[in-house]
Homo-oligomer: A and B are copies of this chain.
Amino acid sequence: MKAFIIYDTPEHNPNLLYWGRFTAPDPFLAIKVGNKTIAFVSSLEYGRCKQTSRFNEVYLLSDVRKHFEKNAPFWLSFFKFLQRQFDVDTFIVPDDFPASIYAQIVNQIPIEFDAAAFNQQRACKTDDEKAEIKKACQLASRTITFAKDILQTSDVKDGALFFDNQPLTSEALRGRMEIYCLEHGGYATDTIVAGGQDATNPHCVGHGVLRANQLIVIDFFPRLQHSHYYGDMTRTFIKGKASKEQADMYCCVQDCQRALIAQVKAGVLTSTLMAFATQFFEERGYGLKQSEQSYQGFIHSVGHGLGLNLHEYPSISTRPIRLEPGMVITIEPGLYFNEVGGVRIEDDVYVTEDGCELLSRCNYDFEL
């Protein structure tokens, strides 16, 4: 019998969260044998885990310890107990299984890595999961619209944006968005509201006063409070009139994103989408440009899987992975050039046999 093993916190390991739908601040061990999931927890978590989790069985760690060999190392005894108890031939662990545990048992316990097998457990979403991700996308869409309304109604004085008679900073707009999200059932942190040069770094969250006539990237990725599913959307705005360079770059990213979404269906390779986007931008004159301090152009991947984790399998990058019906992925091409600014447009799609379904609906208003 093969058994999957995780030792982690549910917050850090979405597979563990998926098995038990149970959160706890400290790591614990869980095993999946056949279709059965079993958790081993401390007395602190035992009652709550038994009553509220979806684990098929919950063991109290201190009870289990009584069956361990005397004077043997803890983890070795634990895995030998699991071997006996569940008739396990081989333990399958995730790539980021703790090396200190691995080192203690590897010479006496058959243990293998199989990231793919773990990935497969959550890659294709059930209807319930799809519905949750769609809800998270709706929240993302409403919050981005809320932010857009603030940009739209803000005033411009000497090129700086003002809202409620205060300078409108990245920090202030991020704060308003995150509060709005919290009020509507989601958690959001480290929201990207990046204008001007900040927007040329795709992971810069943005700082200081937002200004007219500069590209402003808003990347928002709320987690639903009740179900822990994520949505992930990006829109790019400009307050005022875009220059020709800004408008051209925006149109190019939008065209690319549309063309990518049109290609998504079961059977397509992720690497095909990545190659398409790279070539698309090159042909339009936006090829990669290397400077001393940074790379400019299309400097990230096309997207990533989305679900109980924000970035999950499959990555839509150069490594070929075949899309399967039920996968939910982001499509988020972007361009970043120091002299023009940054543009990224991101939506979330559900892969079907003959295409994909757009889960994140929000218009593409640009000039506000």
Contacts and interface: CB of A to CB of B under 8 A. Distances in A.
A185 to B, nearest CB: 9
Interface string A92-134: 0101111111110010000001010000000000000000000
Contact of A102 (B43, B52, B102): B102
Contact of A99 (B26, B51, B101): B101
B113 A25 contact: no
Copies in the complex: 2
A241 interface: no
A70 to B, nearest CB: 19
A1 interface: no
Interface stretch (A81-89, A144-152, A200-208): A200-208
A366 interface: no
Given A100-B96, A203-B48, A295-B47, A175 B179 contact: no
B100 A103 contact: no
Interface in A138-184: 175, 178-179, 182-183
Contacts of A24: 203
B175 A293 contact: no
Interface residues of A, number: 47
B47 A294 contact: yes
B183 A25 contact: no
Interface in A292-317: 293-295, 299-300, 310-311
Interface string A182-215: 1100010110000000001111100000000000
Interface of A: 12, 23-26, 43-48, 50-52, 93, 95-103, 106, 113, 115, 175, 178-179, 182-183, 187, 189-190, 200-204, 293-295, 299-300, 310-311
